[in-house]
Amino acid sequence: MDAVDRQLIQALRENGRASYAELGRLVGLSGPSVTDRINRLETAGVITGYRATVDAPSLGLGVTALVGVQLSDATDHEEVAGRLRSLQEIEDCWFIAGDDSYMLKIRARDVDGVERTVRRLSGTKGVSRTRTTIVLSTKWENRVGELPDD
């Protein structure tokens, strides 16, 4: 991956709907050359997909909570991750180091919805304890950072 690839990735992170012609102008290449590079980055698994970023409160999901999950001893992490995947309220799930095994970001309509989700989490086989933090406000999300140079 060279500097042009990094520029293309950065541009797509900022605007996933940019045309190949726009991207080409940005990096000084023709549209077909940009197409080839992006196809190569997709094939290599560097670019894994494209998606719309949605404002959760506009969908009626006004409360965000971060939930740390501790697992029972001798629990298979992957089995628990599979069970957690079935809970639609979980937006993100990270396997982490520290006292907790997983950190979850959940979205709910209200605090009662968070409570219902936490109860379901607590009743999930393999989960021994949860620790919930309600997000009061979001200063930013999905921040686009600079890609490091080699």
Architecture of domain 3-43: Orthogonal Bundle (1.10)
Arithmetic mean of pLDDT over the chain = 93
pTM of the model: 0.81
User: Distance between CA atoms of 102 and 81, rounded to whole angstroms?
Assistant: 9
Kindly list the domain boundaries of the chain, sorted by start residue: 3-43, 56-134
Question: Taking a C-beta distance cutoff of 8 angstroms, is the pair 23, 34 a contact?
Answer: yes
What b/e readout covers 107-142, taking b as 16+ CB neighbours within 10 angstroms?
bbeeeebbeebbeebeebebbeebebeeeeeeeeee
Structure-token pair, residue 57: 């409160």
Structure-token pair, residue 129: 């304890």
Angle between helical axes of 20-27 and 3-14 (0-180°, round to 10): 130
Looking only at the bridges linking them, the beta strands covering 102-108 and 90-95 are antiparallel
Segment 1-18, tens digit of pLDDT? 899 999 999 999 889 999
Under CATH, what is the fold of the domain 56-134? Alpha-Beta Plaits (3.30.70)
Tell me whether the CATH fold assigned to 3-43 matches the one assigned to 56-134.
Answer: no
pLDDT of 147 = 67
